[in-house]
Structure 1
Amino acid sequence: MNVKIESSKIIKPLYEGIPPSTTTHIPFNVFDNVTFDTLMALIYAYRPPTPPTSTIETGLRKTLSIYREWAGRMGEDEHGNRGIFLNDEGVRFIEASVDASLNEVLPLKPSPSMLSLHPSLKDVVELIQVQVTRFTCGSVVVGFTGHHMIADGHAASNFFVAWGQACRGMEIAPLPMNDRAIFRPRDPPLVEYNHAGAEFVSKLVNKELVKVNNDENNEKNIIVHKVHFTLEFLGKLKGHASFMNGKAKTYSTFESLIAHLWRVITKSRDLNALQNTQIRISVDGRRRIIPRVPDEFFGNIVLWAFPTSKVKDLLDEPLHYATKIIHDAITKVDDKYFKSFIDFANDEKVLTRQDLIPSANMKEDSLSPNLEVDSWLRFPFYDLDFGTGCPFVFMPSYYPIEGMMFLVPSFIGDGSIDAFIPLYEHNLTNFKKICYSLDLKAK
């Protein structure tokens, strides 16, 4: 697929009335500071008829006047607080073309070719970049990159809905809640959990871990494999996961599927039976913190659950075992846990003294023996309608980090799920053989 860049420019917010001040600096909150310090890229594809590029651009400019953080720049204020300057310096907007029909390159697969459908993720100052790529058949692919420290998945999906509203000439509603300073420590603070080793790790330990993983695996070929789980299979999986020793306990489809993938990937990796394996699972704090944080909050409010098991137990025990571990770990990330984290993360003296840095990073080639799952199942990403209908493809870009999974609702719209799973090529053969099997045993 030969993508030709036709134009590249900076566009700025389009205000109604007098523009606001461009000297405001908003410090990051404790959740912003602990999340992934990187750009994330998404791919949308639309069938004709598609809106003119000018509609997409103008709608984005109007939306940036409401979601001003995206049009700003990251930097430190006079006190050394890292955050966002609301200076309206704008976002990058690229127009591109492909001398072929979209059908000629379908299906869109997570491969290096995806990188040509969105702007670069490296050495970028813009917090949002958009690339509109048109095909000869009239189809269009919109590639979006956004900095994770500005917004989590929930907040980003609200932005996409607003962008679509603006393109369709609608009033943006609901409006975002932009107060990042609401997460203040209690007086006195009460740290009830061990956050060093969870959301934070020692700088030295992290450096050594990344080096070991990358040195051991940098010559291995990683393939991002897409797996489709039908609604029928998910139902069977949920039923299987919810039954043990003659007793039934209902778990969610998400918990059941993650438990299944944890077991299948662990089996495919051929790990030592006595080794520990762990999953990093995002937990949205909007509905966990009391009083509840509004869904319209714009920023990051995510912590993680870390279910852990020995490989032998994970594979020898029935699926219910893994599902329960996951369910229990997620349940523990409750109001008390979030508030304990807020108290801990606001104590800069402790973080400095212990030389702690966020454990969330995307610098490793491999997460083995561990996994990470980013679930976009509950976010309305498919609601990005520029005026001619919703996308028929929504997917993450190409992230060849072994063990870093993405879960996305299938475009079929029947409740089925697509999983994007990066694995080493020599493990992928085994994975394909057993990815729909419920009968797994350790060696």
Structure 2
Amino acid sequence: MARNEDFLVKVSKTEAVSAALPVQEYWLPLSNLDLMLPPVDFCVFFCYDHVDVTFASTVVTLKKALADTLAPYYAFAGEITTNSLGEPELLCNNYGVEFSEARAYVNLHDLDLYRLEKSIYRLFPEKKRGVMAVQATELNCGSLIVTCRVHHRIADAYSANLFFVSWAESARSMPISVVPSFRRSLLSSRHPPKHSPSMDELYMPLPSVSSPPKPKRNPDSSDLDEFVSRVFYVAASKIDEIQCLASSEYSRVTKLEAFCAFLWKLTAKTEQKSGGARKAALGIVIDGRTRLGDNGVNNMGSYIGNVLTAPFRQCEMAELVRNPLGSVAREVHGVIETGASKEHFMGLIDWIEAQRPKPITPKAYWVNDGPAVMVSSGRRFPVREVDFGWGPPALGSYYFSEWGSPMGYVMPMPSATVDGDWVVYTVLPRRVIHVITEEAADMFRPMTNQYLTGHTV
């Protein structure tokens, strides 16, 4: 079926929705781990198929619940400013969240959900000020798409997930299940600071080099180096299959480790075919909340902010292609183990403190001497819980409208309709996409609209 790529979108109204309760204005410093992130936004979208209430009613519900949720989540209603050292800082002034109402003259089932740059991308709101912007878009068929744009230095995916669930709970007149915490002291550096020399291998201050080359992005280009966004659907049976292949009687790997190993081998095949670089890199984003929290006064489960590290490893492409999946999965496990301890996160916090006020960055994002991909697990994405009162989404996913790194990005998330299945969002060069679709078409299936009804793609 041909997809509608030229549909009209009209924004009828935009206003800032502030917290329902008064918020005392004050400055909230960013943590050292916040400062590690570049000044980019990430986007999230939720598709609701055939909503049974009027669009006007959905907008009233969304706005009221948003105002209620911003009272405890006041950081999302603030603005980014700069302190005397030139570092970013958050002014909690209850500016609000920019909320837009729009109409898209297209049916949900006619949208191209595989190539998001041809469809959903057009529905993301502009963010002129503040930390967050939201757009509610009504479609011809009565469906609804809610899109959000969030400043990454204020929140990571985990933080955003807490916010979305609380927003949905408020819309259903339920008390929020998690009271957010903004205690920056939980991520304070130690005195005296202490860090491993390995931090210099994983991170670097930005002034030591020029700006990283931004990957080219043009959805209409045929350039194989062009970065494009694609969404794949992966059945649970395929995930179980590669997990079985990567495991042995003595060593059982996780689903994520098997997936990363499989993807790493595919990435290595990309340049092997073109006779280019000799090494391929894999990075993995690791959440440190379970490493730093103690389930007591330092419980990190409700912390809002960035608690991430991004270790990576480069391996010879010939070895990655030649070695069995289990061997590559052990390499993946080694990458994860690099950042999977409390000492790693505390050392990273101390290392960043020693560099301030210089901006710093993970070295993984600068790898450009061979194919490279960063995997960020979104398997805790609570897509089914983002129910504002008219049912859970038929589809939800994260999205980067600006990916300023020569390293690709992949995020597996749970299916909203079929238990165990994954939705996999990717930002990769066309040459990598070509290898994925040629070499692993039985596993990476391009997202189609059949998924919205819960049918296996």
Q: Fold match, TM over 0.5?
A: yes
Check conservation: 1:214, 1:365, Cα contact below 8 A.
no
SS in 1 for 2:257: helix
CA distance in 2, matches of 1:281, 1:131: 31
Structure 2 partner of 1:341: 348
2:421 maps to amino acid: S
Q: Determine what percentage of the aligned residue pairs are the same residue.
A: 22
Residue 278 (str. 1) matches residue 284 (str. 2): no
Query: Match for 1:14 among 6, 20, 31?
Result: 20
- Spell out the pairing of 1:56-75 with structure 2 (5 A cutoff): 56-75=62-81
SS in 1 for 2:374: strand
Offset, 1:98? 1.8
Structure 2 partner of 1:441: none
Residue 95 (str. 1) matches residue 97 (str. 2): no
CA distance in 1, matches of 2:411, 2:346: 28
Residue 148 (str. 1) matches residue 152 (str. 2): yes
Offset, 1:80? 5.0
- Spell out the pairing of 1:229-244 with structure 2 (5 A cutoff): 229-243=234-248
Cα deviation 1:47-106 (Å, max 9, x = unaligned): 212552110011011111110011110113456553111111111110000233322325
- Spell out the pairing of 1:139-218 with structure 2 (5 A cutoff): 139-207=143-211, 209-210=212-213
CA distance in 2, matches of 1:53, 1:202: 43
Check conservation: 1:96, 1:132, Cα contact below 8 A.
yes
TM-score (norm 2): 0.84
Offset, 1:107? 4.0
Bigger shift: 250-259 or 369-378? 369-378
Check conservation: 2:38, 2:153, Cα contact below 8 A.
yes
CA 397–338 in structure 1, closer or farther in 2 if over 3 Å, else same: closer
CA 285–125 in structure 1, closer or farther in 2 if over 3 Å, else same: same
Offset, 1:272? 5.0
Query: Match for 2:41 among 39, 48, 57?
Result: 39
Check conservation: 1:75, 1:82, Cα contact below 8 A.
yes
Structure 2 partner of 1:85: 91
Check conservation: 2:81, 2:91, Cα contact below 8 A.
yes
Structure 2 partner of 1:125: 129
Structure 2 partner of 1:137: 141
CA distance in 1, matches of 2:91, 2:352: 22
Bigger shift: 365-374 or 411-420? 365-374
CA distance in 1, matches of 2:316, 2:300: 38
CA 356–99 in structure 1, closer or farther in 2 if over 3 Å, else same: closer
CA distance in 2, matches of 1:228, 1:62: 35
SS in 2 for 1:307: strand
Give the unaligned 5+ runs of structure 1.
439-443
TM-score (norm 1): 0.87
CA 360–379 in structure 1, closer or farther in 2 if over 3 Å, else same: farther
Give the unaligned 5+ runs of structure 2.
1-6, 444-457
SS in 1 for 2:116: coil
Offset, 1:175? 0.3
Cα deviation 1:202-242 (Å, max 9, x = unaligned): 534353x527x669x99544443332221111111001111
CA 150–263 in structure 1, closer or farther in 2 if over 3 Å, else same: same
Residue 317 (str. 1) matches residue 319 (str. 2): no
- Spell out the pairing of 1:264-413 with structure 2 (5 A cutoff): 264-270=266-272, 272=275, 275-289=278-292, 291=294, 293-333=299-339, 334-348=341-355, 351=356, 357-359=360-362, 368-397=370-399, 399=401, 403-413=408-418
Offset, 1:369? 1.6
CA distance in 1, matches of 2:338, 2:172: 42
Bigger shift: 287-296 or 152-161? 287-296
Structure 1 partner of 2:120: 114
CA distance in 2, matches of 1:108, 1:147: 25
CA 197–210 in structure 1, closer or farther in 2 if over 3 Å, else same: farther
CA 277–425 in structure 1, closer or farther in 2 if over 3 Å, else same: closer
Cα deviation 1:143-178 (Å, max 9, x = unaligned): 100111111111110011100011111112220111
SS in 1 for 2:245: helix
